[in-house]
Amino acid sequence: MNAPMLRIADLTKRFGGLVALDRVTLDFEPNILHAIIGPNGAGKTTLFNVISGMLKSDSGTVQFRGKDITGMAPHRISRLGMSRSLQIKSVFDSMTVAENLWIAAQARQGVMHPFASRSRFGRTTERVDGILEQIGLTGLRNSPAGTLSYGDVALLEIGIALATEPSLLLLDEPICGMGPAETAETVEKIRHLAEEVDLIIIEHDMPVVFDLADRITVMAQGGVLARGTPDEIARNAAVREAYLGDEEEEDDPDA
Amino acid sequence: MELVVALALNGLVWGLIIALIALGLSIIFGLLDIINLAHGDFFMVGTVLTWFVLEATGNYWLAFLIVPLVGLVLGALVERSVIQPIRGTAALSIVATFGLSIIIQEVVRAGFGAAPKRILPPIEGTIPLFGIEYDYYRIFAAGVSIVAIFGFFVFLHRTKLGTWMRAVRFDRDTALAMGVPARTVYMVTFALGFAMASLGGAVAAPITTVDFQTGVDVLPFCFMAVIIGGLGNLPGTVAAAVLLAVTEGIVTSFTDPTVARIVSLCLMSAVLLARPHGLFTGATR
Amino acid sequence: MKERINRTVLLVVLAFLVAAPWVLPAIGFDYWLDILAEIIIWSLFAASVNLLFGYVGLLSFGQALFFGMGMFGVAIGIAKLGLGFWPALGFGMTVAIGTAAVAGALAVRLTWHYFAIITVVFSLIFYFLALSAKPLTGGDDGTSFSMPAMLEAGGFELSLTDPTVQYFFILSVAAAAYFLKYLIVKSPFGMALMAVRENDVRASLIGLNVYFLRWITFVIAGGFAGLAGCLFALFGRYASATYMFYHVSGEGVVWTIIGGAGTLFGPAVGTALLIVVREELSNIWEHYPILVGLVVILTVIFAPKGLMGFWNALLDRLAPAPADRASGGGRPNGAVDAAAVPAERRTGP
């Protein structure tokens, strides 16, 4: 068994009186696809926000590949190789698709050359071409990102996350808002991705989750309700009770 | 000590007038997303209109009635012509209202003249207050401001229009979906903002000078009150205006006005940096 | 096609600027050389606003502070410290950039309205400080000085007292600054700034240090405003606190947005237009500012992306570009879209 790539210990986050994360302790092993599910307000997105540095936790620690990243700024965490997509899709609207990916790929280098022309960075450009191919947006490379369809924006988001050359990718509802055809396509892309990088996804679509995930974590009311393989989760009585057929979209408490 | 009391009282009176003006600035921002750089000039227009009413009729009390009414009409006109086409784009609103400010100042300079004038207060005399003799009129001015501020809150909470305004400010999309007539609400809001600023001008006219440039001095002060009070927090705006003016008044009694201004500006930066969402908000919503 | 038209226009304008000291007197417009110099200086000031607002999405109403710092740096350097031409220029720039570094470290912790307000507050603080420090600054009256020579070698002396030398000095400094701005905007760093402007959360998630990028842009913009202030002090041989008032900052914002925020030359176009309008109309009608105000409002209503945005849209219509444009190239019109309507609803508690 490999050592966990991501260790979360005793993580607590409050919003005023509301406890969004209540002493959450979780280990994520590498090389398998993790999914986090749970009803509305379970704290899934808050967990991602704290892991990626967008929110500071009230207590507890986060370790990424043996390094303590608790309270670290998002850009530093990103440079350590952790990348994430947002639940509410957001890209750089007035830049083209290629530029979106270009800046993400270049950002990973850390240093932003203030004077050299952008065309001089051949390696970055190559990488952009590769990612365009991977997410299937090559045909739209010169379209402004603001003009893309919802599904394409979601793909671009994944592309941006990939462009930073992550070793761990956190995807927050990657197929939310997609039609059936797009969903099937995206699921396949995610499955391929999982061969290259470690993945943790938050997803509401149960068939997709049970199809994709190797390991499922069920959250409820800021805590971990159950963990296990899809089979184990499907049989878990507490999980069934918590869901009761609830399939609603989750509201992001800190969008 | 007497000087401290007098200047603190002056600060209180001035703060209440500023509060009246700043409330208008705040609702215009909250409802229309307009950063109104001409708001100080609306105040200035109030002082100038007061001067004209006094010239024409000799009756100061009439000014308290006419000036806000004219302000209401001017506000509605400005909203329809300048604000309506650019609503919702705060960056453009800054430029458009800057242009508006230039026009207002120049029109006043053309019609009223460039030389500052003074107006005598309609009530003379002083009364003893906290061990000093204090101007009757300033107390009266404070009273008018309080009544107007109070009236504004009553309007906001007790009338249909006021309820609409609060609804739009709270959740624009829902309010519009529920059939609140947006254009009317926007126009009334802007007109009301203009009217309140010009009423502030009518009240302040005998205390300050009547000059086409006074708006430029008043504007930053109003913005500070709005920001320190917390964007969208109307009672906070009132409290911040009074707090700022009293602080400055008290500091002025120890040193010269410019240094007092610097001190209050430094305090203001500290507040902004430490509590960017205003002095009176809770930790997290 | 569009690129070519724009390049041609730029070359024509540059040729005119270089030939101006001979062309203008020849057609009887002698005093316009000074106005041209003034336009060039103020367009640098507008470029400073544009770097912050157009490229990194921060609307500063306090750039006059750094303009004033450069101005007083030069004036006090020459009049009080007895510095020569170049040391005084260096002193002015150091003071301006130093102030921007400190003010920026605080100011860029805030964004949008809060940022706009704190820049006003900072500039007001220094405005009042300059007013009250009369012995040093001369307050409202300002500090004047007599021009030291730029270069003295043997019997040869080069000084700004010669109007042509002065003009070319201002033109070449401004051209160098604009070239620097061009390089910055086209570089990966410039792209990173646009990413921050577009979406700061996303930018931080891909590993961009948003705070640092905003800060360094603030410092660079402070340098541009400071340089404009230094040049203006040398041009007018004096410095005055009135140029530090927030109204001056406001004019810079207006010039930028009228010309087209987020475009390289938009601010220069806006500055030129409004100063020319001012110069032309002030002779004809005493109350010409009314017309200036009208021009400003009409431009905002009918050309919300500024004159450059309007111009580019016009070219697009007259000479449609091929559908597939080279990627990564400068597309200033795309940038304007966002700058005119920045993603400003992201604030809030």
Give me the CATH code for the B2-113+120-274 domain, please.
Answer: 1.10.3470
Distance from CA of C156 to the nearest CA of B (A): 47
C35-70 per-residue burial string, b: 16 or more CB within 10 A, e: under 16: bbbbbbbbbbbbbbbbbbbbbbbbbbbbbbbbbbbb
pLDDT of residue A31: 87
Burial class (CB in 10 A: 0-12, 13-18, 19+), C172: exposed
Domain that holds residue C42: 2-346
CA distance C299 to C303: 5
Nearest to B258 among C120, C131, C340 (CB): C131
Q: What percent of chain A has pLDDT over 90?
A: 18
What's the rounded mean pLDDT across residues A13-33?
Answer: 87
Taking the Cβ of residue A150 and every Cβ of chain B, the question of whether any pair is shorter than 8 Å is answered with no
H-run or E-run covering A141: none
Residue scoring higher pLDDT (C349 or C57): C57
Condensed to tens digits (0 to 9), the pLDDT of residues C62-106 reads 999 999 999 999 999 999 898 989 999 999 999 999 999 999 999
At residue C328, the 3 state secondary structure works out as coil
CA C127 → CA A10, A254, B252, C142, distances in Å?
A: 51, 40, 18, 12
Residue A65 in tokens: 């590949």
CA distance C323 to C340: 24
CA A177 → CA A13, A140, A203, A211, C283, distances in Å?
A: 28, 20, 12, 18, 62
Condensed to tens digits (0 to 9), the pLDDT of residues C23-32 reads 888 887 778 8
State the total domains in chain C.
1
Domain map (residue ranges) of chain B: 2-113+120-274
Measured between beta carbons, the chain B residues lying within 8 angstroms of A16 are 282-285
CA C54 → CA A212, C31, C336, distances in Å?
A: 43, 33, 8
**Does residue C340 carry a pLDDT above 50?**
no
DSSP A176-242: TT--HHHHHHHHHHHHHHHHHSEEEEE---HHHHHHH-SEEEEEETTEEEEEE-HHHHHH-HHHHHH
Look up tokens 């280990």; give the residue. Answer: A27
Nearest-by-CA chain A residue for C345: A255
Residue scoring higher pLDDT (B71 or A106): B71
Look up tokens 């401001």; give the residue. Answer: B145
Are residues C207 and A112, on separate chains, in Cβ contact within 8 Å? no
pLDDT of residue B170: 79
**Does residue C345 carry a pLDDT above 50?**
no
Distance from CA of C229 to the nearest CA of B (A): 23
Are residues B283 and A16, on separate chains, in Cβ contact within 8 Å? yes
What's the rounded mean pLDDT across residues C6-26?
Answer: 89
Q: What is the CATH number of the domain that holds A122?
A: 3.40.50.300
Confidence of residue A245 (pLDDT cuts 50, 70, 90): low
**CA neighbor of B242 nearest in space, from B1, B21, B2:** B21
Are residues A117 and C186, on separate chains, in Cβ contact within 8 Å? yes
Q: Quote the mean pLDDT of chain A.
A: 84
CA distance A241 to A224: 14
CA distance C198 to B55: 54
Q: What is the CATH number of the domain that holds C308?
A: 1.10.3470
DSSP H helices in C264-345:
266-284, 289-302, 306-318, 332-340
Are residues C201 and A93, on separate chains, in Cβ contact within 8 Å? no
pLDDT of residue C328: 39
CA A182 → CA A35, A92, A159, A176, C28, distances in Å?
A: 20, 22, 15, 10, 69
CA distance A12 to A55: 11
pLDDT of residue B79: 93
Phi, psi of A96 (to 5 degrees): -75, 165
C300-311 per-residue burial string, b: 16 or more CB within 10 A, e: under 16: bbebbbbbbbbb
CA C200 → CA A94, A98, A161, A254, distances in Å?
A: 13, 18, 15, 15
A67 lies in some domain: yes
Residue scoring higher pLDDT (B6 or C336): B6
pLDDT of residue C195: 92
**CA neighbor of B134 nearest in space, from B6, B20, B278:** B6
H-run or E-run covering C122: helix C112-132
Pairing of strands C151-153, A67-68: unpaired
A1 lies in some domain: no
Condensed to tens digits (0 to 9), the pLDDT of residues A59-86 reads 999 999 988 999 899 999 998 989 888 8
Pairing of strands A168-172, A198-202: parallel
Nearest-by-CA chain B residue for C259: B95
Confidence of residue C127 (pLDDT cuts 50, 70, 90): very high
pLDDT of residue B281: 62
pLDDT of residue B87: 77
CA distance C91 to C81: 10
Tell me the range of B79-93, B214-228, C121-135, C214-228 where mean pLDDT is highest.
Answer: C214-228
Condensed to tens digits (0 to 9), the pLDDT of residues C146-202 reads 888 888 777 788 888 888 889 999 999 999 999 999 999 888 888 899 999 998 899
**Does residue C130 carry a pLDDT above 70?**
yes
The count of C-alpha atoms lying within 13 angstroms of the C-alpha of A40, restricted to the half-sphere facing its C-beta, is: 10
Query: Which subunits sit against B, judged by 3+ Cβ pairs under 8 A?
Result: A, C
pLDDT in tens, chain B (285 residues): 677 888 888 888 999 999 999 999 999 988 888 888 899 999 999 999 999 999 898 888 899 999 999 999 999 999 999 998 887 777 788 889 989 999 999 999 998 888 888 888 888 877 877 777 778 888 889 999 999 999 999 998 888 888 888 888 877 788 888 888 888 889 999 999 999 999 999 999 888 889 998 998 888 889 888 888 887 788 888 998 998 888 888 887 777 888 888 888 888 888 888 877 777 764 333
Nearest to A75 among C191, C204, C324 (CB): C204
pLDDT of residue B283: 38
What's the rounded mean pLDDT across residues A40-61?
Answer: 89
**Does residue C346 carry a pLDDT above 50?**
no
pLDDT of residue B39: 94
A254 lies in some domain: no
Q: Measure the N-to-C terminal CA separation of chain A; round to a whole number of Å.
A: 37
Which of A95, A111, A254 is the best substitution to test chain C (most C C-beta atoms within 10 A)? A95
CA distance A105 to C201: 16
At residue A38, the 3 state secondary structure works out as coil
**Does residue A170 carry a pLDDT above 80?**
yes
Measured between beta carbons, the chain C residues lying within 8 angstroms of B96 are 296-297, 300-301
A142 lies in some domain: yes
Nearest-by-CA chain A residue for B285: A16
Q: Which residues contact A17 (CB under 8 A, 6 or more apart)?
A: none
Handedness of CA B133, B138, B140, B146 (dihedral sign): negative
Domain that holds residue A158: 6-243
How many contacts (CB atoms, under 8 Å) link A and C?
128
CA distance C115 to C104: 10
Tell me the range of A11-15, A116-120, C70-74, C106-110 where mean pLDDT is highest.
Answer: C70-74
